[in-house]
Amino acid sequence: MHSAVLLKAEVKALQAANEQKKRRERKRKRRIMQGGSLSIQEGEDILHSAKVDAQVYIEVASESSQQVGSKGQQRRCGQSIQAIKQGHIQNVKSAAVTYNVPRTTLRQRIQGMASQRDSIPNSCKLTPYEESAIVQYILDLDLRGFLPRLQAVQEMADLLLSERGESPVGINWTTNFIKRRTEIKAKFSQKYDYKRAKCEDPKII
């Protein structure tokens, strides 16, 4: 219960910090529009943001070029379903051939199964604020000399989800979460390395 209170406090703190950042950004823009000057730090922040935005644009453009084929197939799949519903095409096989989409995929869409692009992966059930709160909680434990446990991480995630009435995370969620969050990955590997080194110590053997 105490952990849940701390995690909710972390989430609220992150949300408040984000809102404060947005307010500063709006205030700075108003000052620029009114002919005001910027501080050196604000100028550096703008340059940094521009570099980050440029990098994000490059990554998004590269990713988009790789997904053109996938998006085209999704569009054709939607058109083929519409053609079947309107009676222009009588069966799935003919629609798949006409619109050049896999027959299995088309049948799954007709049955209501969402595409992989539109479905939310089980590993991303938490919001960014909730994930950051768990990460901060683990780092705080590490600073106090406590080794984090995988089960404790899963319990923290389930607590946050239960507050929103959501179902618990999956079996592999904790492992995937630690792999995605590099800032805490080392904290768990240290525990494993220590045990392995202890078992391999000739004095103990």
What's the pLDDT tens digit per position in 124-134? Answer: 678 888 888 88
pLDDT score of 15 more than 50: yes
Nearest Cα residue to 99 out of 121, 117, 124, 72: 72
**Is 191's pLDDT higher than 80?**
no
10 Cβ contact list (under 8 Å, min separation 6):
132, 133, 136, 137
Mean pLDDT of 17-41: 65
- Kindly give the residue spans of alpha helices, DSSP state H, lying in the chain: 2-33, 40-66, 68-85, 92-99, 103-110, 128-143, 150-163, 173-180, 182-199
Q: Is the pLDDT of residue 48 over 80?
A: no
| DSSP-assigned states of every residue in 92-149 | HHHHHHHHT--HHHHHHHHTTPPPTTTSPPGGG-S-HHHHHHHHHHHHHHHHTTPPP-
Model pLDDT, residue 167: 85
Residue 169 has what pLDDT?
86
Q: What percent of the chain has pLDDT over 70?
A: 56
Single-letter amino acid code for the residue at 16: A
Average pLDDT, the chain: 70
pLDDT digits (tens, 9 = 90+) for 146-190: 877 888 888 888 888 888 888 888 888 888 888 888 888 767 755
Instruction: Give the range with max mean pLDDT: 27-36, 90-99, 117-126, 195-204.
Output: 90-99
What mean pLDDT do residues 12-28 have? 72
Asked if residue 183 lies in contact with residue 135, where contact means CB atoms within 8 angstroms, the answer is yes
pLDDT exceeds 60 at position 197: no
